[in-house]
Amino acid sequence: MSQHAPHSRGLPNLVVTAPEWAPEVDARVTRVGQWIFIGADAMFFVAFFFAFFYLKSLNNDHSWMTQWMDHPRRNGGTIIAGLLVVSAALVFLGARAVAKKPASARMFFWLALVAGVLCVGFQVNELKNLPFDITLGGGYPSVFVGLKSVLMVELVGALIWLGTHIHQASPTGDSTARPASAVAFGHFMIFLAGVSLVSYLVLYFLY
């Protein structure tokens, strides 16, 4: 055990870190880990899509959509899904640019953050004024609320994560040193956008 970096003191330096990576190892680990994590998260949403089609096929007590007065409000859904797609695309562009042009990456990330926050806002609004009364039950309303809310929660988490990347994309940040993490985050955002597109299709067109 020859020499040793300084022990951490003070709030910023309390952060416990492991030995530094060589960039190429970092890239490989992050890539593999990201795909495994996305796979696990996909299984999480698969359960909700299964619930959708299973309850729809059972239609117990003919209550799949009894509480349904008018059709789902597609406009709101379109805006939400579209904003998430835009945000994911911006993150992906930024992640690709982060190694060479951190400044433009920063801009992309900021725009993506704005789009994401808007998306969350619209989503909250949609959940606040549902076109049906959830307390009356029904299969479709249950899946609608469940799927939309878990997707929104994951998006909020992703936006906080995006915040870290915004800062790390600054010249002093280390995204330039660890572009792999930014790229991995980009892939995760694209995955979320994909889920939102599928749920958009399912919830607004296949009920």
Binding to other proteins in span 112-141, by CB under 8 A: 134-141
- Shortest distance, position 123 Cβ to other proteins, whole Å: 15
| Residues 69-98 within binding reach of other proteins (CB under 8 A) | none
* Residue 85 to residue 200: CA distance in whole angstroms: 12
Q: Which among 87, 108, 85 is positioned nearest to 96, based on CA atoms?
A: 108
Q: Which is nearer to other proteins, 86 or 169 (CB)?
A: 169
d(CA 41, CA 206) in angstroms, rounded, equals 23
Query: Whose Cβ is closer to other proteins: residue 54's or residue 205's?
Result: 54
CB 48 to other proteins: min, Å: 6
Supply the DSSP symbol for 193.
H
Question: In this chain, which stretch among 43-51, 79-87, 94-102, 110-118 interacts with other proteins, using CB under 8 A?
Answer: 43-51
**Residues within window 136-195 making contact with other proteins, judged by CB under 8 A:** 136-143, 145-146, 149-150, 160, 163-164, 167-168, 170, 172-173
Instruction: Provide the token pair at 206.
Output: 């296949």
Does 46 interact with other proteins (rule: CB under 8 A)?
yes
**Contact by Cβ (8 Å): 202, 51:** no
Q: Is 53 in the site for other proteins (CB under 8 A)?
A: no
Check binding of 9 to other proteins (CB under 8 A): yes
Is 17 exposed, middle or buried (CB count within 10 Å of its CB: 0-12, 13-18, 19+)?
exposed
In the DSSP assignment, the letter for residue 61 is G
| Shortest Å distance, C-beta 198 to other proteins | 15
Using the minimum distance from each CB to other proteins, give the nearer residue, 29 or 201.
29
Question: In 10 A of CB 7, how many CB atoms?
Answer: 6
